Amino acid sequence: MKNNIIITIALILTINNSFAQHFNKEELFFLKAKEDSLQPLSEKIVMAMNPEDRLRADSFFTKILVRALKTRNAFHYPFDSLFAISKLYSPDSVFRIFTWQLVIDENKVRQHGAIQMKTSDGTLRLIPLIDNSENTYKLQDTIVNNSAWIGAIYYKILMNKIQDKKIYTLLGYDEGNIRISRKIIEFMHFENDAPIFGGSYFDYSSDTSHIQYEARHVMEFKKEAGPRLTYDDEMKMIIMEHLVSESNEPTKKWTLVGDGDYEGYKWGNGKWNYISKVFNQIIPEGKAPVPENFLDKKENNKIISPQHQND
């Protein structure tokens, strides 16, 4: 017990020292005050029963967040109390990405987001992400910029290099509509300091039955299914649960559920190389790989979508 107290105090001192390197007292007080204002709004965006209340909270949240981020060196402020909002730093600390969702109605869910770039003088450079999913004909094939973003709530960022070019792989979730949800493997890189989403970074040559080109991988599945999509640090692989149709109708995405078998991707030669079967042995029940999923964290903190409040 005594050791735990000592560790906690040391952690607090470390955090305070870290803040002291970037903010003066007035800046830190301002950011904390803005975070206190943002926290209840972030919950209302997800939990409010009426669409009008969710829309109003989203509008206020966005305006206050931008004001807060205009504070010098705000890139380093964690906004830890905003459980309903995903906040991820890139592995190289070049940017931070905020993503969250707004449920318009049971058939329309819109993702919102922004990329905050780290700047040498601590000033704000913020790139808005505009969800254009509903107007995109083929989600898997399209390469887009931030103004035509394929919306998702991101819960993992990976980084790889092809020569001097950095490729970021983002794992995300999209609640979809009343029948289906999605999990997405997205790619992002920067051209002329602007983000480009999608790219030719999958290699399916090991499985000729698979579609050979995808700009991103989109898992669509039955609303209640929740198949796994995660990154395994030990195996250095993206792991995803194989989908099968409950009614033997694989073209009907709302019938697809995980079957306990796993596919995957392993990085090599500048591509994510597809592996059709990751595990050759039977996995004991409850031992399948589990992602560190942002939405699972929300569930643990009782931040759930309005349509699930009575589940």
* pLDDT digits 0-9 by tens, 141-157: 999 999 999 999 999 99
Separation in Å, CA 256 to CA 19, 140, 185, 197, 243: 47, 18, 18, 26, 6
| Residue 280, pLDDT score | 65
User: CB–CB of 188/195 below 8 Å?
Assistant: yes
279 — pLDDT class (breaks 50, 70, 90): confident
User: What are 169-203's pLDDT values in tens digits?
Assistant: 999 999 988 999 999 999 999 999 999 999 999 99
pLDDT at 34: 96
40, HSE (Cβ side, Cα atoms, 13 Å): 4
Q: How buried is 109 (Cβ within 10 angstroms: 0-12 exposed, 13-18 middle, 19+ buried)?
A: buried
Check whether 297 has a pLDDT greater than 70.
no
Arithmetic mean of pLDDT, 7-33: 66
pLDDT digits (tens, 9 = 90+) for 61-105: 999 999 999 999 999 999 999 999 999 999 999 999 999 999 988
Residue ranges with strand state E in the chain? 86-89, 95-105, 108-117, 126-130, 144-145, 153-162, 165-174, 180-191, 194-197, 202-203, 217-222, 229-232, 237-245, 256-268, 271-275
Q: What is the pLDDT of residue 137?
A: 86
**C-beta neighbour count of 265 within 10 angstroms:** 23
Q: Which residues contact 227 (CB under 8 A, 6 or more apart)?
A: 183, 219, 221, 240, 241, 243, 257, 258
Average pLDDT (108-129) is 95
Rounded Cα–Cα distance for residues 250 and 261 (Å): 16
The pTM score is 0.84
The rounded radius of gyration (Å) of the Cα atoms in the chain is: 20
d(CA 310, CA 84): 18
Cα-to-chain-centroid distance, residue 62: 18
What single-letter amino acid sits at 150?
I
pLDDT, position 162: 95
Is it the case that residue 281 has pLDDT exceeding 70? no
pLDDT at 300: 47
